[in-house]
Structure 1
Amino acid sequence: MDRAVPEDANRRPLAVDVRRVGSGAVVAPVGELDHHTADVLREALDACVAEGCPRIVIDCSGLEFCDSTGLNVLLATRQEAEAVGSQVHLAGMSPIVARVFEITGAGAVFTVHRDLEAALAAMPGD
């Protein structure tokens, strides 16, 4: 399932691809995650939590930017997922996105993998 926000001349729109992997899901946002685009990712993640995915891996390798609104979407999703016994893992953060997590300390509350392959390898077998 792909979702996208209309393109603005000053930023790249955010597209979000969601695919099932076993009983979990891989959510791959591509573009800029900010206050204009955060709802696109929020909807995809909310659907994964509502479907009861026990493990959600967010592949951040396609993110070019993440502001505080995007960070809040990820943090809220982690809390909602944990409240129903699910986990949220992050994978493949670029240095610019990783810096936001480092500055805010948010990286300490997530399990972060170097890339999607490492995250998938760490998933329990279904």
Structure 2
Amino acid sequence: MDRAMPDSPHRRQLTVDVRRMGSGVVVAPSGELDHHSADRLQESLNACVADGRYRIVIDCSGLEFCDSTGLNVLLTTRMEVEAAGGQVHLSGMRPIVARVLEITGAGAVFSVHETLAEALAALPAD
């Protein structure tokens, strides 16, 4: 299956929804996470960290694609949050995104959960 080109009308733009849930925050990117859109996710994650939110669940159920730039955003955020004593969990991985983590070995450094509810339950309580 060919991916649509960046300027193609068939390319699904990345949107990012951020919502507080209990002791953490859920960041839900939706669409294609690539070198054209990674800044949008990075800005949202940076805002969470700047706000002192170090318990982050990234709900990947809406991601249709993730390239190496998107993966670097996830990895960088994980390192920054863990350095501050926090945690980053991933949930709802679609097979195409899970494959990127598998191929690169990045899946071994993340806590990955089948569902958002499982990821939220894994966050430490206040």
Shared fold, TM over 0.5 = yes
Q: Residue 59 of structure 2 contacts residue 116 of structure 2 at CA under 8 Å; is this kept in 1?
A: yes
SS at match of 1:12: coil
Structure 1 position 49, deviation (Å): 1.2
C-alpha separation in 2, matches of 1:99 and 1:39: 22
**In the alignment, residue 83 of structure 1 is paired with which amino acid?**
A
Q: Residue 23 of structure 2 contacts residue 125 of structure 2 at CA under 8 Å; is this kept in 1?
A: no
1:12 is aligned to: 12
Superposed CA deviations along residues 31-73 of structure 1, whole A, max 9, x for unmatched, are 0000000000000001111111131000000000000000000
1:43 is aligned to: 43
1:116 is aligned to: 116
What is the aligned-residue identity percentage? 73
**In the alignment, residue 40 of structure 1 is paired with which amino acid?**
R
1:81 is aligned to: 81
Relative to the length of structure 2, the TM-score reads 0.90
**Ranges of 4+ aligned residues in structure 1 off by more than 3 Å:** none
C-alpha separation in 2, matches of 1:91 and 1:65: 15
RMSD: 1.5
Q: Residue 29 of structure 2 contacts residue 63 of structure 2 at CA under 8 Å; is this kept in 1?
A: yes
Specify every segment of 5 or more residues in structure 1 that has no aligned partner in the other structure, as ranges: 1-6
Specify every segment of 5 or more residues in structure 2 that has no aligned partner in the other structure, as ranges: 1-6
SS at match of 2:61: helix
For this pair of structures, how many residues does the alignment match? 121
C-alpha separation in 2, matches of 1:51 and 1:79: 17
C-alpha separation in 1, matches of 2:114 and 2:55: 17
Q: Does 1:66 align with 2:66?
A: yes
2:4 is aligned to: none
C-alpha separation in 1, matches of 2:85 and 2:8: 38
Greater CA deviation, 98-107 or 17-26?
17-26
